[in-house]
Amino acid sequence: MAAPAHAALPQLTAAQPATLQSCTDLASRLKLPDTRITSSELVTEGNLTIKEMTTPVPAHCLVKGKMKERTGPVDGAAYALGFEVRMPVHWNGRFLYQANGGLDGEIVPALGAVSGGAPVAPALVQGFAVLSSDAGHPTPSPFFGVDPQARLDYGYQAVGALTPMAKNLIKSAYGKGPDRSYLAGCSNGGRHAMVGASRYADQYDGILAGNPGVYLPKAAATQLWKAQQYAKVASKDANGQPDLKTAVTPAEFKLISSKIVEKCDALDGVADGQVNDVAACQAVFDLQRDVPNCTGTRDGTCISSEQKGVLSTIFAGPKNSKGEALYPGTWWDPGVMGSNFSWWHFDAPPTRNAGSVAFIFTTPPLSVADFRAKTGMQYAMEFDLDTDFPRIFATTALYPESPWAYMTPPNATDLSGLKNRGGKMIVYHGTADSVFSPIDTAQWMDQLQAHHGNQADTFARLFMVPGMNHCAGGPATDQFDMLAPLVAWVEQGKAPDTVTANARGAGANVVNTELPASWSANRTRPLCVYPKVARYNGKGDVESASSFSCK
């Protein structure tokens, strides 16, 4: 049976709570189309540790299963939509699809920790029923890209298939389906959310997209181009391949960061070691002028003219041989000193990005044998913007949907479906994201506003997070909850003008070691609806969000 699609969103109707009625018998008694429930168990209240973070979780029902099990016709591998659903005993009546990041390929525990760095109140803790999935392939390896259906599942069809299944499962567990449904994630999960806002607006009341790769195939290909630029000033490793980490050292990025702060700190009305007006900073900071030139050995106190040339090219964004811009560049932001920033520039291109472009984001995909015959760095160095980049948009008889078609939101700047049924959307993006350009997201918001007659903020709002890297980290107040404001907007009509963000200093659940020593461990800042910026009121504690207003 299919879950009924939402028609018009009931105006200002809050979700109604319910109590779990069924759990351990779901695996044996529940029959859903193309679905095999492999286990259902009651988990007692207690602590759940994932990586370095321990979260107290309520008593809940944990259901695991698979949908659409099959054998791939190209590689003979086993495929399915693997999932888990966690449903609290005391339920708030809401459903959250936890869209995961990266290449997917693993079922991240369904806690719904979707906002900022080390969230303190994941959706499960707030009382949501939460779904997590592997998006249709069992390992976070790019080789699934040889399978035509796995590509489509990863791009958008996993959300389309799993959503009605999860709603029916929830109905069986509580005796009623969810009153409100939300889709949320960061990075590729943010892309899933953006696609959901376009393709599945009838299924979701609220969308939360963090640091979204709106146009992910272009961003991934750009990463390979960045590696080629850095290779021009990098030394060689023992195998004769460029050692990208030598192109710009942590000390050199820290130097650039400090010079950005020097030039742009006071643009928001106070010198507090934090650049809030990042857009204005772009016209004030000049790499050539403001960072000392090396006249001798590179020692972290200067940048060579060759390095400056490479960095200027990279931050401007890629162009093909015709001079056509292919993807937006990157903002100069103090967050360039973040370890996450450099990871995406140096570590990711020959590993994650090479594989994803070779198998998922171009058509036809490379053969596994051909890919393994060379290193990821070789693939990155050989990628050609003129001949390989267009394969993002290509199709074949075996792969009839292009990577661009299945990875990006159809009509990304026309969200009439979401708007017309009363749905709401919040997007947030770190201004020092080094893989998915925050400029790209800002331009998307500008275009969304233009398409909807400058009234898009009645249903969609963008919040920039100064200094934050990709989803978290960097010199930023990067701990915040965007889910609660989204719920209040959907269910109470309270449109969010600001969201308070915290620094993760000493005493935080996970400490951010990249915070400047001059900051209070408990610094707070208002995150503002784009294009507004948090500006100092002229008086008050500079460590407190209450001393700043969005203007």
> Which residues are identified as catalytic?
187, 433, 470
Q: How far is CA 353 from the centre of its chain?
A: 15
As to burial, measured by CB atoms within 10 angstroms (0-12 exposed, 13-18 middle, 19+ buried), residue 386 is: exposed
β-strand 242-243 against 129-133: which pairing, if any? unpaired
Distance CA 363, CA 397 (A): 11
Angle at 397 between CA 394 and CA 402, to 5 degrees: 30
CA 141, 142, 147, 148 torsion: positive or negative?
positive
| 182 DSSP β-pair partners | 96, 206
Q: Which residues contact 283 (CB under 8 A, 6 or more apart)?
A: none
Distance CA 495, CA 509 (A): 29
Residue 74 corresponds to which amino acid?
V
Distance CA 96, CA 194 (A): 15
| H/E segment holding residue 549 | strand 548-550
- What is the per-residue burial (b if ≥16 Cβ within 10 Å, else e) of 179-197? bbbbbbbbbbbbbbbbbbb
3-state secondary structure of 68: strand
As to burial, measured by CB atoms within 10 angstroms (0-12 exposed, 13-18 middle, 19+ buried), residue 396 is: exposed
Spatial contact of 360 and 230, defined as CB atoms under 8 Å apart: no
Tokens of 267: 């643009």
According to DSSP, residue 298 is labeled -
According to DSSP, residue 506 is labeled T
Q: How many residues does the chain have?
A: 551
Distance CA 418, CA 203 (A): 10
Tokens of 368: 């596994």
Tokens of 510: 């996970």
Spatial contact of 526 and 545, defined as CB atoms under 8 Å apart: yes
Distance CA 222, CA 227 (A): 9
